[in-house]
Amino acid sequence: MGEDVNKSLTGQWIGRFDYDDGEASVPFEADMIQSGMTLRAQTVEPNTFHPGAMKELRGFLTGWIVGSEVRLTKTYTFDQVADPEYVGRVDADARRITGCWSFEDMPANTGRFTMTRRPAAKALAERRIAAETEV
């Protein structure tokens, strides 16, 4: 199954998913929490497929990590016919996750995804700015 990743995946991630049929890449952000082998994340992405919804779509990733293998299911905050499944691998430094996504009941809808850990200094600076703005 590959090398064990000893570093936690907890943190802020930026990524994109691509469609195998050539549609444009869709960027997204995920705020991930790892507890043991369990992974949870809140996601936000531009609305590229849900007519009449807001500009940004929000969702949740739930899943697990075993060794370097990651499996996640994305559930949006709106009713969806099916939830995409993400299967990928984490690099040895726990800074990048790459793999494929698909729908179990819709084999024509597939693609690739990449997630990169947002640098801690940038994330910390953004949290400070957000906290100062709220005051």
Domains recognised in the chain with CATH numbers:
11-134 (2.40.128.120)
Plot region of 47 (φ>0 → left; ψ -120 to 50 → alpha; else → beta)? beta
The pLDDT assigned to 1 comes to: 43
CA angle 123, 128, 133 (to 5 degrees): 125
83 or 3, higher pLDDT: 83
pLDDT digits (tens, 9 = 90+) for 18-50: 999 887 899 999 999 999 999 999 999 999 988
| pLDDT tens digits, one per residue of 63-84 | 999 999 999 999 999 888 889 9
According to DSSP, residue 5 is labeled: P
